[in-house]
């Protein structure tokens, strides 16, 4: 109701105690195409849907390597993501140089949270309009974190961000209890199935699906298109079942929902 | 303090440098390179440790070995490793061997007025798939060669390589007939450093040897004399 009065600057609270600029920034994340992450005891996986603006252009990369044991999937403003990526790469490399070990994922994410918060409380700056899903393997454990423009960071068993992510999230909520004991192959399959829930009318191909894995004895690796295709083929075999489920879930008014959902 | 001849004698000054000994060598073939270093770290007439690595794999196609002062070797290798990662993140691909060679030269010259006490050899496969070896002095003078040795055993190893790889001073063999195979090169490198270990007190304990070809790097280790 009071939105237009209290949303012109990051430093203005609304009477309900909300900072609308941050919520608008989180809306930028929700506009990006779907990225989701899930983890087991031994591996963590991210799966993304890569958009291309037209047939002539390449698909927008959404997965980036930070270090041998850590990587990110992004949703939102890619340019902002590049800044945060550079920051993370710097932190991890510096730690490796000084201490000779991998920087724990949680610590990088904490630094990222501090960095993001700074932009919500400084004159002339704006929040980073990108959400990251950070996966990593260190200290014999897998990690999955979500960062948001607000500066809040949470650890997850599984999470999906971006447009139409609610469908993927519902799938993950249904299945996450069995993730911890799964092997890598099955984990990735769940990820791709979850992505299919969010893909809407778009067909999943090896060109527009990105998958990356990290884990025990597995350095962070972005899978090559042929490997992606092999997972898609496995999903196609069971496609009949999934199509029936999709018809029941789609076409809700996503926009109205996302604002409330993003208040984390 | 003046002696009776009138010369000035100075008290010995503190030096930031020490020599931890050890030998390194590398040989380039047509489509491969072999690089090796011992692992003994000495100080004076004592052994500080029998295993202190002088070898660093930078990419699948390129490695470096360094002799001299262990502290500087360690630091130089750390810096090089970080720089290689930065390059890979920036350019999306690993450094070529030529790029590594140039980078090492620049890193060394950067410390022109307080040098790294390191005598480095970089070896690997160049962009055309040909084996290459680069040798340096302490401040980064760069030269591409077919083989090189550095360290306390270098004066024992270099003549052997001159004779066996470059075929110098030989009357029994024609250069055109001779081709250095990978197996010969590996045996030669092993024999050369083993022989250095026989006579040079600072060379011994273990050898880390690495064979680099189009398929990547294969690392191995064997023992030398412990005396």
Q: pLDDT for A57-67, tens place per residue?
A: 888 899 999 99
Least confident window among A188-192, A197-201, B222-226 = A197-201
- CB < 8 Å to B78, chain A: 97
**Whether A93 contacts chain B with CB within 8 A:** yes
Cα separation of B116 and B136, whole Å? 12
Mean pLDDT of chain B: 94
What interface predicted TM-score (ipTM) does this complex get? 0.81
**Whether A65 contacts chain B with CB within 8 A:** yes
Least confident window among A59-68, A199-208, A234-243, B165-174 = A234-243
8 Å CB contact between B145 and B135: yes
Mean pLDDT of chain A: 88
- Predicted pLDDT of residue A260: 32
8 Å CB contact between A142 and A44: yes
What's the mean pLDDT in A213-223?
96
8 Å CB contact between A7 and A20: yes
Flag if B85 and A93 touch (Cβ within 8 Å): yes
**pLDDT band, very low/low/confident/very high, at B24 (cuts 50, 70, 90):** very high
Residue A234 has pLDDT above 50, yes or no: yes
Least confident window among B4-18, B160-174, B179-193 = B4-18
- Predicted pLDDT of residue A120: 92
- B74 sits in which H/E element: helix B70-91
List pLDDT tens digits, range A10-50.
889 999 999 999 999 999 999 999 999 999 999 999 999 99
What's the mean pLDDT in B153-157?
97
- Predicted pLDDT of residue B176: 79
**pLDDT band, very low/low/confident/very high, at A254 (cuts 50, 70, 90):** very low
What's the mean pLDDT in A105-126?
93
Sheet holding B118-125, edge to edge: B55-59, B62-68, B118-125, B131-136, B142-145
- CB < 8 Å to B82, chain A: 93, 96-97
- Predicted pLDDT of residue B41: 97
Which pairing describes strands A158-161 and A35-39: parallel, antiparallel, or unpaired?
A: antiparallel
E-only strand ranges, chain B: 23-28, 32-38, 41-43, 46-49, 55-59, 62-68, 118-125, 131-136, 142-145, 147-151, 206-213, 216-223
The interface residues of chain B toward chain A in range 113-172, judged by CB-CB distance below 8 A, are none
Q: Largest alpha-carbon pair distance within chain B?
A: 69
**Whether B90 contacts chain A with CB within 8 A:** no
- Predicted pLDDT of residue B3: 62
pTM over 0.90: no
The residue ranking higher by pLDDT, A58 or A132, is A132
**Whether A96 contacts chain B with CB within 8 A:** yes
Least confident window among A37-51, A152-166, A230-244 = A230-244
What's the mean pLDDT in A169-184?
96
- Predicted pLDDT of residue A250: 45
- Predicted pLDDT of residue B198: 97
Flag if A93 and B78 touch (Cβ within 8 Å): no
* Rg of chain A taking only CA atoms, in angstroms: 18
Residue B7 has pLDDT above 80, yes or no: no
**Whether B86 contacts chain A with CB within 8 A:** yes
Query: Residue A71: what are its φ and ψ, rounded to 5°?
Result: -155, 170
């Amino acid at each position: 109701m009071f939105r237009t009065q209290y949303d012109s600057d990051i430093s203005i609270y609304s009477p309900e105690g909300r900072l609308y600029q941050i919520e608008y920034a989180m809306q930028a994340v929700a506009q990006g195409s779907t990225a989701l992450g899930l983890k087991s005891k031994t591996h963590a996986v991210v799966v993304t849907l890569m958009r291309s603006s037209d047939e002539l252009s390449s698909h927008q990369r959404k997965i980036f390597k930070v270090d041998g044991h850590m990587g990110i999937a992004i949703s939102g403003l890619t340019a902002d993501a590049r800044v945060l990526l550079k920051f993370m790469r710097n932190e991890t490399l510096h730690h490796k140089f000084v201490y000779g070990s991998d920087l724990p994922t949680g610590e990088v994410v904490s630094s990222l949270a501090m960095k993001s918060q700074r932009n919500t409380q400084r004159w002339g700056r704006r929040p980073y309009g990108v959400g990251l899903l950070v996966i990593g393997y260190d200290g014999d454990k897998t990690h999955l974190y979500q960062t948001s423009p607000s500066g809040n960071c949470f650890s997850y068993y599984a999470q999906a961000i971006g447009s139409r992510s609610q469908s993927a999230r519902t799938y993950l909520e249904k299945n996450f209890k069995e993730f911890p004991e799964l092997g890598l192959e099955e984990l990735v399959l769940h990820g791709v199935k979850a992505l299919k829930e969010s893909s809407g009318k778009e067909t999943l191909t090896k060109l527009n699906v990105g998958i990356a894995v990290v884990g025990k004895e597995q350095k962070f690796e972005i899978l090559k298109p042929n490997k992606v295709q092999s997972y898609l083929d496995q999903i196609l075999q069971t496609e009949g079942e999934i199509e029936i489920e999709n018809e029941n879930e789609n076409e809700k008014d996503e926009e109205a929902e996302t604002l409330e959902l993003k208040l984390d | 303090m003046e002696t009776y001849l009138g010369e000035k004698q100075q008290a010995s000054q503190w030096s930031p440098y020490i020599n931890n000994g050890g030998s390194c060598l590398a040989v380039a073939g047509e489509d491969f390179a072999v690089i090796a270093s011992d692992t003994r770290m000495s100080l004076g007439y004592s052994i500080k440790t029998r295993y202190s690595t002088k070898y660093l794999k930078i990419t699948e196609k390129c490695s470096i070995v360094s002799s001299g002062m262990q502290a500087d070797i360690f630091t130089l290798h750390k810096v090089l490793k970080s720089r290689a990662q930065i390059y890979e993140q920036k350019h999306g691909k690993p450094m070529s061997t030529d790029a590594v060679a140039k980078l090492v030269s620049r890193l060394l010259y950067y410390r022109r007025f307080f040098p790294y006490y390191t005598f480095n050899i970089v070896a690997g496969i160049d962009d055309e798939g040909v084996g290459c070896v680069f040798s340096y002095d302490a401040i980064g003078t760069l030269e591409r060669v077919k083989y090189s040795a550095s360290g306390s055993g270098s004066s024992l190893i270099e003549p052997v390589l001159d004779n066996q790889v470059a075929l110098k001073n030989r009357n029994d063999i024609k250069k055109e007939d001779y081709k250095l195979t990978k197996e010969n090169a590996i045996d030669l490198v092993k024999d050369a450093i083993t022989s250095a270990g026989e006579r040079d007190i600072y060379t011994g304990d273990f050898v880390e040897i690495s064979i680099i070809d189009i398929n990547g790097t294969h690392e191995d280790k064997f023992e030398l004399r412990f005396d």
